[in-house]
Amino acid sequence: MNKLSIRIEGLSRVYRKKRKRKWFRKQPAESAKDFVALDDVNLEVRPGELFGLLGPNGAGKTTLIKILTTLLSPSTGNAWVDGLDVVKQAKELRPRINMVSGGESSGYGILTVRENIWLFARIYGVPNEQIKARTDRMLDVVGLADKASSRVSHLSTGQRQKMNFCRGFVTDPKILFLDEPTLGLDVTAARNIRQFIQQWMKEDPRRTILLTTHYMAEADELCDRLAIVDRGKILACNSPTNLKRLVQEHPLFAMTLSPGPNGLPELNGLAGVRQATRTETPTTVELKVSLEEEPAIGSVVSKIAASGAKILTLRKVEPTLEDVFIEHVGHGIESEAG
Amino acid sequence: MRATLILAVQAALARAYPRAVWMTRNRTWLIQETLLPVLSVSAFAYSYIAMKAPPEYVGFVILGAAMTTFWLNVLWAMGAHLYWERDSGNLGLYIMSPAPMMSILAGMAMGGMTTTTVRAAAIVLAGVLLFDVPFDPTSWWLLIGVFLLTLLALYGLGMMFASLFLLWGREAWHTVNLLQEPVYLLAGMNFPLKNVFPMAVAGTALLLPLATGMDAMRQVLFRAEGVLHYSYEIGMLAVLAAIFLVSAKWSLDYLERKSREEGRLTVRWE
């Protein structure tokens, strides 16, 4: 029996804003505005998979994780984690899961790093000797071994985040939810954490991770499959390679431009151009153009030249996950996130 | 069932740990919570001495000061604490864990009781050494029993408050703040209820576990007259403790269900 680790069917979550009462005023109460965080989401994650949710801030990733970790009820639809209904069987499910959120500030400042990890492992019933061994290993992974006896109140934000990363793994969950686990961490720490995640998954094929991120490279490096999420909807779901392959059908060109006095012309809408996105640096503009057919690059070059801008480099490129994201969402992840 | 019980005990002990450790790592409490209350006790004690009141009245003041530390702990370290746990990001982790939330609250209560007992003992010791209080207990065992039952009722109330504070947010906070002084008065912090209030008011005051516990302890410790005989008050405390603990469980379940529906469980600054 090939049981799914996560199964989501027609899941929606609407946040209903409270009506503001206006006491002692004659005006009627303000009408409540609803916010749709998740809209008819369907998803399946298999055991042993490292599955990614890729989307900008506010896409609904964290809401989905909160539902799957039993912290939030769906408005409609159903979800099962390890075969258990997240609403009706929350108590049975909780021993099997854990979650780490990036930027998390949980823990007690009066306790040391080791004591905090111990506390949050004990509420999962982990025996003391296992806590000790796992904590030692995790602190080494995140480079916090020398701070094991430091009070949490003396740690930096990044160090607290590393401690919370350890907290999530020490209970050895069957299904782990990582919500932006490397958010705000330095490059080396983020790399070590990514390496550890891959190693941890290899150690036991029954383990599953659902990872949310808005770092394209992280999703590309880690995930077996990923779903692109925007405004509460899943727009695409496949392996990173397959997602890129689908975009590869259309030629993609990258240009470095020096804008002329009139700026750059609008390329979206030009015959043969599917999509053009630009990233500005202080002196140049990086332009990516997806074309229907390769010869259309001629009209793109002509239009840029006519605007007075100078083309510094022009090359045909392989699509990245960023291009896949733009293809589905219509804009870069950072343009919305920022 | 056995596994759930073991997990609940482990979780309670784990949650009690930060409170126990706090005393050894934050020693300013010695001044703030022992020396200052003793000064306050002294002011009332000297008033009774100046009025040539019976010597056990000084004992009432010391007992009141000791028990008030528990009341303050119940209000601010129990009642308000889930609210703080949410703001620090811990509440979601507790709810997501397999440990029953009642065990987390029990851990908070155990930790609170331990630390506050040390504080209360320091106040009693300082008071006894300074004022030579004439203890004449009916039975020390009975006194310990009444004391423990009072703590059970008080911390049951605190566990119930914890959910209500989180449900009602700052409104509950302000309400309790507003009630703090009236509770001191109604509970007879520095005076025997029976000698001051009419029976109707004194009887109503016994709905507060602080008032019932202190009245019973005064009877046992100083053979003073109480509003009701201490045996009835012990019964009342047991009933109050049961009501508060059951209500705490009910309100925790309600809180969790409501928060999951509304999405406010882990949202800060609501």
Q: What whole-number distance in Å separates Cα of residue A158 and Cα of residue A102? A: 9
Residue A28 sits at the chain B interface (C-beta within 8 Å)? no
Residue B15 sits at the chain A interface (C-beta within 8 Å)? yes
Read off the pLDDT band of A94 (50, 70, 90): very high
Which of the listed ranges A5-9, A246-250, A291-295 does the model predict with the highest average pLDDT? A5-9
Average pLDDT over residues B163-175: 75
Express each pLDDT in B107-116 by its tens digit. 999 998 988 9
CB contact under 8 A, A111 and B7: no
Q: What is the DSSP string of B55-116?
A: THHHHHHHHHHHHHHHHHIIIIIIITHHHHHHHTTHHHHHHHSSS-HHHHHHHHHHHHHHHH
Residue B38 C-alpha, separation from nearest chain A C-alpha, in angstroms: 27
- For A95, the closest of B17, B98, B265 (CB atoms) is B98
Listed by start position, the domains of chain A span 6-18+33-238, 247-337
**Better pLDDT: A302 or A261:** A302
Buried b (16+ CB within 10 A) or exposed e, A255-283: bbbebeeeebbebeebebbbbbbeeeeee
- Check pLDDT > 50 for residue B270: no
- For B18, the closest of A73, A104, A108 (CB atoms) is A108
Residue B79 C-alpha, separation from nearest chain A C-alpha, in angstroms: 18
| Structure tokens that stand for A27 in this block | 């005006």
**Better pLDDT: B218 or B25:** B218
- Check pLDDT > 60 for residue B158: yes
Q: Report the candidate in A97, A110, A99, A101 with the shortest Cα–Cα distance to residue A161.
A: A101
| Structure tokens that stand for B240 in this block | 């109050």
Among A121-125, A219-223, B229-233, the range scoring the smallest mean pLDDT is A219-223
Among A152-156, A331-335, B265-269, the range scoring the smallest mean pLDDT is B265-269
- For B260, the closest of A15, A73, A123 (CB atoms) is A73
List all residues of chain A from 49 to 78 with a beta carbon under 8 Å from chain B.
Answer: 66, 69-73
Residue B26 sits at the chain A interface (C-beta within 8 Å)? yes
Among A48-52, A91-95, B17-21, the range scoring the smallest mean pLDDT is B17-21
Nearest C-alpha in B relative to A110: B22
Q: What whole-number distance in Å separates Cα of residue B23 and Cα of residue B25? A: 6
Residue A105 C-alpha, separation from nearest chain B C-alpha, in angstroms: 6
- Check pLDDT > 80 for residue A141: yes
pTM of the predicted structure, to 2 decimals: 0.84
- Check pLDDT > 80 for residue A320: yes
Average pLDDT over residues B232-237: 96
pLDDT at A335: 53
Average pLDDT over residues A104-126: 93
CB contact under 8 A, B26 and A94: no
pLDDT at B167: 78
Q: What whole-number distance in Å separates Cα of residue A245 and Cα of residue A227? A: 15
- Check pLDDT > 60 for residue A1: no
Mutation target to probe the A interface, by most A beta carbons within 10 A, among B260, B267, B268, B269 is: B260
pLDDT at B143: 94
- For A125, the closest of B7, B17, B263 (CB atoms) is B7
- For A72, the closest of B18, B99, B263 (CB atoms) is B263
Express each pLDDT in A223-247 by its tens digit. 999 999 999 999 999 999 999 888 7
Express each pLDDT in A151-165 by its tens digit. 999 998 889 999 999
Domain A6-18+33-238 annotated CATH 3.40.50.300: yes
Read off the pLDDT band of A18 (50, 70, 90): low
CB A208 within 8 A of CB A130: no
Average pLDDT over residues B149-154: 95
- For B94, the closest of A95, A107, A123 (CB atoms) is A123
- CATH level 3 topology of A247-337: Alpha-Beta Plaits (3.30.70)
Amino acid identity at B32: Q
pLDDT at A260: 78
Buried b (16+ CB within 10 A) or exposed e, B3-37: eeeebbebbbbbbbbbbebbbeeeeeeeeebbeeb
Q: What whole-number distance in Å separates Cα of residue B223 and Cα of residue B68? A: 21
pLDDT at B165: 81
Cα-trace Rg, chain B: 19
Nearest C-alpha in A relative to B8: A123
CB B36 within 8 A of CB B110: no
CB contact under 8 A, B262 and A16: yes
- Check pLDDT > 70 for residue B187: yes
Average pLDDT over residues B44-70: 90
Contacts of residue B77, Cβ cutoff 8 Å, sequence gap at least 6: B19, B108, B112, B158
pLDDT at A31: 56
- Contact list, A13 vs chain B (CB under 8 Å): 263
- Contact list, B94 vs chain A (CB under 8 Å): 123
**Better pLDDT: B60 or B171:** B60
Read off the pLDDT band of B93 (50, 70, 90): very high
Element (H, E) at B238: helix B230-262
Instruction: Please say whether the dihedral angle defined by the alpha carbons of residues B210, B212, B214 and B217, taken in this order, is positive or negative.
Output: negative
Average pLDDT over residues A111-124: 96
- Check pLDDT > 80 for residue B126: yes
As a residue count, chain B comes to: 270
**Better pLDDT: B77 or B246:** B246
- Contact list, A124 vs chain B (CB under 8 Å): 97-99
Residue B29 sits at the chain A interface (C-beta within 8 Å)? no
pLDDT at A22: 56
pLDDT at B250: 93
Residue A104 sits at the chain B interface (C-beta within 8 Å)? yes
Cα-trace Rg, chain A: 24
CB contact under 8 A, A71 and B92: yes
